[in-house]
Amino acid sequence: MMELAAEHHRGISFLTDRKYRLHRHVALQLMIFLISISVFFDKPDTLNLSFNRFCGWITYYLFMNMLVYVNVYVLFPYFMTNRRILQYTIAVLLFTIFSMFIMVILQDLFYDIAVSHQKPDSIAIFLSVTSSFFAILLFMLGMSALLLFKPLMQSHFREKDLQKSTTESKLQFLKSQINPHFLFNTINNANILIEDEPLMAAEILTKLDDLLRYQWKDSHREKVYLMDDIGLLTDYLDLEKIRRDEFYFCIQTQGNMGSAEVAPLLFIPFVENAIKHNIDSDAASYVNLVFSLDNDVLIFTCENSKPVFSQPKATGGIGLNNIVRRLDLLYKNKYVLEKAETAQKYTVKLTLKI
């Protein structure tokens, strides 16, 4: 069963994946070639290789290509991109009628293609024209069905990849941040403060509760309010500040973000990465976050300090492959990710169309 599913997936990929585009064109040309060479046969066992028949085959081959590529690159993109289904249907019918005239002209020029050399009667002409019309129409509709099928399958696979990537992102975050060591330190800090500073201890436990609740509940939604995600980052950085004496952070928001929505856990990998690589035992470290929203364009900036004595690999930009993959799936062609680094700091800037 798994082998059948894999074969099915490869078959769908061949029809939809951009990397197989050239292969699809080659397969199409082979199919048209196999269909068109039938004009060389008057009978199944009688081959006619006359010059007139060869010219007829060339024109028939080009005619079949015209049916395909005019539909694929002219009619379908022009009408279906704007979801004008009725106009597209009318255009296909008109193009089919136009193609019929082309076919009649070709048959007149290369009459030798016909199997019978006798002049047909009116009924035979009607049946021939009708069958040719429906043959061309069905061929056009078949291509249209494939064109409609392609984005549906692409959307299906994108959704599957997105679900997988989202799950991986959640698991990665839970493994790297909310691990037993982190929880132990946080709870231990609260336990130490519970007698001398009970309000502070209660605040720590509340933030930890909010953090876990958000991950296990709200992060399962397709979209969350941007302010809720910023609240998650605030709680996380507050807890990090309690764990580290010389750690500072700042979160700034610019613009009206009351109703803005984003994918959950979209920014936490940037922050996690910044914290991971800015621990410095010799100097204070910081993480500064800025969220700026203007006309549905969100600019997120994450800036973190670098240790005074850092290894070459200890930069804030390593380990972001997963978030880049999620951005490709969630906001394809709607985001720009920029990275900048100096001797003292590392900066990530994400411009996002939400």
pTM above 0.75, yes or no: no
Residue pair 307/314 in contact (Cβ under 8 Å)? The answer is yes
Give the model confidence (pLDDT) of 147-174 as tens digits: 777 776 666 667 767 766 665 665 455 4
Domains and CATH numbers, the chain: 2-156 (no CATH), 177-353 (3.30.565.10)
User: Which 8-state DSSP code applies to residue 84?
Assistant: -
The label of the residue with tokens 């509340």 reads: 206
Of 138, 132, 135, 140, nearest to 107 by C-alpha is 132
Tell me the pLDDT tens digit for each residue of 247-261.
Answer: 889 999 999 888 899
Is residue 287 a contact partner of residue 278, using CB atoms and an 8 Å limit?
A: yes
- Asked if residues 88 and 161 have their Cβ atoms less than 8 Å apart, the reply is no
Q: For the chain, give the number of residues.
A: 354
The band of 315, judged by pLDDT with boundaries at 50, 70 and 90, is very low
Token digits of residue 329: 């799936």
Q: Which helix or strand (DSSP H or E) is residue 325 part of?
A: helix 321-330
**Confidence class of residue 111 from pLDDT cuts 50, 70 and 90?**
low
pLDDT per residue as tens digits for the range 243-298: 777 888 999 999 988 889 998 888 888 888 888 777 765 677 899 999 999 988 99
What is the percentage of the chain residues whose pLDDT exceeds 70?
A: 69
- pLDDT above 50 (res 82): yes
Q: Which amino acid is at 354?
A: I
pLDDT at 314 over 60: no
User: Which residues, 6+ apart, have CB-to-CB distance to 285 below 8 Å?
Assistant: 244, 246, 247, 248, 278, 279, 304, 305, 307
Q: How far apart are CA 328 and CA 334, in angstroms?
A: 9
What six digits make up the tokens of 332?
A: 């394809």
Listed in sequence order, the residues at least 6 apart from 343 whose beta carbon sits closer than 8 Å to its beta carbon are: 306
